[in-house]
Amino acid sequence: MGVGEDENLSRFIQAVSDAYYAFDRDKQLSEHAFQVSEKDYLDIYARLKAEIDIRNQSIKKLKESIWIMEPDANAGIIPGENNLLDVIGYLNEQISKRKAAEQALIVARELAEKANQAKSEFLSVMSHEIRTPLNAVIGLGHILYMQNPRPDQLNNLQVLRSSADNLLSLINDILDFNKIDAGKLELDNSLFDLKTTVQDIFQAISIKASERGNEISVHIDPSIPHQVLGDAHRLMQVLNNLLSNAVKFTTRGKVRLTLQLEKITAGKCSILFSVSDTGIGIHKDKLDHIFNPFSQASSSITREFGGTGLGLAITADLLRLMNSEIKVDTEVGKGSNFYFNLELAYATEIEEKINPSNYIEEDLGQAKILLVEDTPFNILFTTQLLEGWNTIIDVAENGAIAVEKILTQSYDLVIMDLHMPVMDGYTATRKIREFNQHTPIIALTASTTIDIEQKIFEAGMQDFVTKPFNPDDLLVKIQASIAASQK
């Protein structure tokens, strides 16, 4: 064999050898790669199976939670199947329903707010229309009462005053409830003589009690301080409501008002107020019901005794504002006892000495007053009232006339009605304040909207009196306003 052939054979043998070597190497690599891939596959499969188990458990728990909250969800979600799409579809449907419900609630709330606003406006308008003539009824009754009437006239005037007061009380109850319901009622906090206040209420109720043949009495613990700090008007309202109910539901029986000092510390005293009667009493199952607005123990009570059913509801709300609570013990046929505990700050002896006397001087010393009023019978009543206090009266029938008069004349005080033709009291006051800052102006209004006080002061008036008014209240405010303007 030649040299060339040997070389070719050697290359062939080498090629075969290299091929076997490469095959063996590739075989080893393939076997190793397969082993590695199988291990990774087993690991991946194990993890995937664990994740699937967790997913299935999650879907199961989610379904169980949905069925607990929504038993009817079985119709939309098939039990036993782990189809997440069913759950997602059901949840999307519920979310859509909730959003629709939320939107419906928003619309309902807006409608309720509009209805509440309409109610407030209606009450304001009706109050104004009722209070304006009622002011004349109460006012002229007061004037006639002070003109030494005959005995037969005196009895008629007492009935007139009592009926007018009852009507005013009904109107005030409705308006107070409206304020409380809107969260706009604020309590005053000033010094007042508690014992005198209670005696005044007692005297006023005594007439009604005697008409029903009741014996009424009052007991005030002598150790209770005279001067206390609080809202005298609202406390009087609470006691008047309780006493009026006691008198109304008692015939030829006994009504008793008691004030008992429970505890006294430096600057504060705790007083137990109670109103008891021997009247018809209240069934135990009606006790919670009687404190609901526009509710009474039964419809027969409304027919027999009348009333709006607001007195006790307002009493409970007022006491809550005073950080107290009304309670009641009662037995049918034997009577009731309404009571509450009130913590009040009280004045020191020095403060009591400087507190002004209850005596009111009814001589205004020829003070010149401009009465701005458009209603003839209110002009008649207010003019007679002011003249009785020694004043010089001028009258303007609307705000425009009042502005012209104040431009050319000097007055000690202006009494300004708010609602008048041509120019209302707010506009007139703002125009007056452009050239006259010192003459005091008292608003005289039958309006009782929640924001009335703020509007009055913003216009430039110093004070206001709400019709129908107590003549003494107007007198005190006139005196205070004139005195302040002269400083």
pLDDT above 70 (res 424): yes
Query: Is the Cβ–Cβ distance between 259 and 320 less than 8 Å?
Result: no
Q: Is the pLDDT of residue 72 over 70?
A: no
| Distance, CA of 417 to CA of 442 (rounded, Å) | 9
pLDDT of residue 435: 95
Residue 69: the pLDDT is 63
Residue 375 vs residue 86, higher pLDDT: 375
Residues comprising the chain, all counted: 487
**Average pLDDT, rounded, for the chain:** 79
Give residue 324's pLDDT.
Answer: 94
Q: Is the pLDDT of residue 253 over 50?
A: yes
Nearest to 315 by CA among 190, 446, 307: 307
Check whether 203 has a pLDDT greater than 70: yes
**Start-to-end C-alpha separation, the chain:** 149
Give residue 322's pLDDT. Answer: 93
* pLDDT for position 17: 55
If one compares 246 and 59, the residue with the highest pLDDT of the two is 246
Contact 456, 370 (CB under 8 A): no
State yes or no: pLDDT of 231 exceeds 50: yes
Task: Find where tokens 């001589």 sit.
Answer: 363
Mean pLDDT confidence for 140-162: 80
Of residues 430 and 283, which shows the higher confidence score?
A: 430
pLDDT number for residue 243 = 92
What's the whole-number mean pLDDT along residues 454-459? Answer: 91
Structure tokens at 371: 């009465």
Whether the predicted pLDDT of 272 surpasses 50: yes
Percent pLDDT > 90 in the chain is 29
pLDDT in tens, 344-370: 998 764 444 444 444 456 789 999 999
Instruction: Write out pLDDT tens, residues 402-415.
Output: 999 999 999 999 99
Instruction: Give the 3-state secondary structure of residue 302.
Output: helix
pLDDT at 358: 44
What band does 2 get if pLDDT is binned at 50, 70 and 90?
A: low
DSSP 5-33: HHHHHHHHHHHHHHHHHHHHHHHHHHHHH
Where residue 85 falls among pLDDT bands split at 50, 70, 90?
low
pLDDT (tens digit per residue) in 14-32: 555 555 555 555 556 665 6
Is-contact 273 340, C-beta < 8 A? yes
Q: What is the pLDDT of residue 473?
A: 81
Higher pLDDT, 381 or 341: 341
What is the pLDDT, as a whole number, of residue 277?
A: 94
Q: Which two structure tokens, joined as six digits, stand for 18?
A: 């290299």
pLDDT at 466 over 70: yes
In this prediction, what percent of the chain has a pLDDT beyond 70? 73
**pLDDT confidence of residue 124:** 67
Q: Over 80: is that where the pLDDT of 48 sits?
A: no
Q: What pLDDT, on a 0 to 100 scale, did the predictor assign at position 14?
A: 57
Chain position carrying tokens 């135990």 = 284
Q: Which residues pair with 190 in a beta bridge?
A: 230
Q: Are 378 and 402 in contact (CB under 8 A)?
A: no
